[in-house]
Amino acid sequence: MDKTTPKKRKDRTAMPCQPANVRSHNFDEVALGYTLENALDEASRCLHCKKPLCVEGCPVCVPIPEFIKAVKEQNLEEAYRLLKTANALPAVCGRVCPQENQCEGRCILGRKGEPVAIGRLERFVADTHIAKSACEQQTGTNACSTRVQGLSVACVGSGPSSLSCAGYCASHGLKVHIYEALHEPGGVLVYGIPSFRLPKDVVHSEVSALQELGVEVHLNCVAGRTVQISELLQKHDAVFIGVGAGLPKFLGVPGENLVGVFSANEYLTRINLGRAYKFPEYDTPAFHGKIVTVFGAGNVAMDAARTALRMGAEEVHVCYRRTRAEMPARHEEVEHAEEEGVIFDMLVNPLSFKGDANQRLESVVLQRMELGEPDESGRRRPVAVQGSEFEMKTDLAIVALGTRSNPILLEATEDLEKNKWGYIVVNEETCETSIPNVYAGGDIVTGAATVILAAGAGRRAGMSICERLLGAK
């Protein structure tokens, strides 16, 4: 080979997966995870840049080159410690975060090829390294503080932001109480994300570690109804609000109240939290459809479509008013859905739903669209094609158009400042709200975002709480 010939870079190490024809009929995890050999191969691709852009692309600034170097040296304990310095939930984030738009999106190898599989390596480390203690699982070190008597924190909600805040506070010696509205902790990680993408035992492991640190979990506590923020302030020295943004958006078209039309939130909660996929072990009511239509093109839409397949649907359609290129879902999720048999109907928009005499869904009326000039999002605006209406049979429709802030807690807490979109206003550095000693983070502040952003906000709030109550940084 001529000395001037550039050296060919190794290809990105493929992720082992269940075959599509097998996984479409079960709820086991699709991606099987790297072996040690896979991880070492992928770690060897890292260039260890002097100015790593991947770290800039990470919302919580994980020391990526350092943890990958530790993987390369087979020092998984050190790799785990490095991950935990910034990310409280690496096993979760390694599975569900959109790395292609964050750390991997900035990787220099991605300019002329495929970026380093940072998320897959993160998952490998988190899954492979077994923490020796609950403190290590939460912080990456066994050096947890002794309990500070008389000081306590309330975390409202049990999603990624609350879990991160609770873990940080508990590891610094504060007594933490989590108040969860549903009958199982984990928030959106449990009720929103299907087990084939995020196994329930991964979330349960994080919760169990918190409980080993002395965190108490109170279930069936609806903030704003069964418990008020003012009451929590009387019992605790600080309160963190991490209730997410779970109020679904709907289409606003005729027939949306027919039997068989669901929000993605309700559909996925029925299946995931109720274990409807384990019938008859769990006798949870589940609405089964033969021809399922999902409206939306984000990750939640992919989750709903792939879940419907696994629940026995004969046909599953994803309807989107733009093209494949504008779909906001992760590329991997779209590819997996397509491999499993999901049908993508692009450039269509729903006009109405039609039902039978018993008000059960029978069909949806769609209109074809074309792309016009870009709108405020930067994407080309969909424009209706006149006279292009057509009807498509469907007996289960799932609306996955995003969420808004849940008003229950916010309306019940008058002194809590909100922005024009209905989300809580906080100090960006401390996460403190307009109410002293009340903090907030995650989707209830930012609107629907990524798990790692929510976890980062929870950790930042935990640091602020500890600094105020303990003088610790």
pLDDT in tens, 35-68: 999 999 999 999 999 999 999 999 999 999 999 9
The pTM (predicted TM-score) of the whole model is 0.92
The predicted-structure confidence for 249-268, as pLDDT tens digits, reads as follows: 999 999 999 999 999 999 99
Query: What's residue 155's pLDDT?
Result: 98
Residue 241 pLDDT exceeds 50: yes
Instruction: In whole angstroms, give the CA distance from residue 1 to residue 448.
Output: 52
The backbone torsions φ and ψ at residue 56, rounded to the nearest 5 degrees and listed phi first, read: -65, -35
Residue 412 pLDDT exceeds 90: yes
375 compared with 303, residue with greater pLDDT: 303
Query: What's residue 472's pLDDT?
Result: 61
DSSP letter (8 states) at residue 145: P
Residue 8 pLDDT exceeds 90: no
Residue 181 pLDDT exceeds 50: yes
Instruction: In whole angstroms, give the CA distance from residue 345 to residue 240.
Output: 42
Query: What's residue 284's pLDDT?
Result: 78
DSSP letter (8 states) at residue 30: S
* CB-count burial class (<10 Å; 0-12, 13-18, 19+) for 2: exposed
What percent of the chain has a predicted confidence (pLDDT) above 70? 98
Query: What's residue 277's pLDDT?
Result: 82
Query: What's residue 7's pLDDT?
Result: 56
Positions of E strands within 298-376: 315-320, 343-346, 348-355, 361-374
For the chain, domains (ranges, CATH) are 20-130 (1.10.1060.10), 136-245+405-470 (3.50.50.60), 248-403 (3.50.50.60)
Mean pLDDT of 119-132: 94
pLDDT category, 192, cuts 50, 70, 90? Answer: very high
Instruction: In whole angstroms, give the CA distance from residue 227 to residue 219.
Output: 11
Which of 93-102, 140-149, 418-427 is predicted least confidently?
140-149
Mean pLDDT of 272-277: 87
Residue 12 pLDDT exceeds 90: yes
Query: What's residue 1's pLDDT?
Result: 46
The predicted-structure confidence for 88-103, as pLDDT tens digits, reads as follows: 999 999 999 999 999 9
Phi-psi region of 344 (alpha: psi -120 to 50; beta: other; left: phi over 0): beta
- Cα–Cα distances in Å, from 44 out to 32, 74, 102, 329, 345? 21, 12, 21, 29, 40
Query: What's residue 426's pLDDT?
Result: 97
DSSP letter (8 states) at residue 130: -
Instruction: In whole angstroms, give the CA distance from residue 300 to residue 268.
Output: 9
Query: What's residue 141's pLDDT?
Result: 83
Which of 4-18, 23-37, 171-185, 305-319 is predicted least confidently?
4-18
The predicted-structure confidence for 328-363, as pLDDT tens digits, reads as follows: 999 999 999 999 999 999 999 999 999 999 999 999
Query: What's residue 461's pLDDT?
Result: 97
Mean pLDDT of 217-243: 96
Mean pLDDT of 69-94: 95
Mean pLDDT of 196-225: 95
The mean of the pLDDT values for the chain is 93
